[in-house]
Amino acid sequence: MTETTATPETTEPEVLTEIDGNVLVITLNRPKAKNAANAAMAQQMDAILTEFEANDSLYAAVITGAGKTFCSGMDLKGFLKGEKPSIEGKGFLALTQQTISKPVIAAVEGYALAGGFETMLACDMVVAADTAKFGIPEVKRGLAAAAGGLVTLPQRTHRAVAMEMALTGDIYPATFGKENGFVNRIVEDGKALEGALELARTIAANGPLAVKASKRIIVESIDWSTEEKFAKQQEIVDPVFVSADAKEGATAFAEKRAPQWTGK
């Protein structure tokens, strides 16, 4: 995974990448602007996520923010200039309208607001520092949380909770997110990335075909009827059960060793 090129007005890219074993770490990198998303950041995220999907040696990704902030949302200065921090068909930061086939975990320190909160919601799991703050304050600016706050949040929590967050625009603590189902784990301040990497490494140690199939079923089955859900599930899991990885998993268990996955 190579880092993207910086724009002329910056000294380094708006998004940084690092590989930790089979895990890709993606860092939103505009700390002086509290990682507010601009067009350049969205374009770089698009390239990074496309490469992540295509790289068979990467099993999971963690998205975090530089400078003790996850993402404060859209860069309003850029918005006033006509910039959009989104990619057509893929959404805010090239993530909120698409489903990545591999697990993506958000590591949240500080604020995840507006588009930043919606980017977090687009991730499969969330590890948050106990000092993290969440909110979709768009209504306070005469805008609407159209990058997932209004359509994704109700699927991740109770309707009444989503309604309150969207209509008040208030800011909420990490404990609120854990209590209402959109935060998986809360860790000490400064430990969100460490906690997310621990979770990502645990996932990446499992069979990649099985992980991808499991995620796909959980994502897609929300639209399946009771009558069709097991048949549709079977179509997705059948190739997993006859894969080389399935045989390797059983063999490794019998031989009391760690499996060597090939993704085949």
Catalytic, 83? Answer no
Beta strands in the chain (DSSP E): 15-20, 23-28, 60-65, 86-87, 91-92, 104-108, 111-113, 125-129, 133-135, 172-173, 185-187
Coarse DSSP helix, strand, coil percentages of the chain, rounded to the nearest 5 percent: 40, 15, 40
Would you say the C-alpha torsion 14, 111, 189, 99 has a positive or negative sign?
A: negative
**Contact predicate 102/52, CB 8 Å:** yes
Catalytic, 235? Answer no
The catalytically annotated residue of 138, 164, 188, 248 is 138
Please choose, from the candidates 114, 118, 109, the residue with its C-alpha nearest in 3D space to the C-alpha of residue 90.
Answer: 118
The catalytically annotated residue of 9, 53, 109, 118 is 118
Specify the DSSP class assigned to residue 221. Answer: G
Distance CA 188, CA 194 (A): 10
**Contact predicate 54/18, CB 8 Å:** no
What residues act catalytically? 118, 138
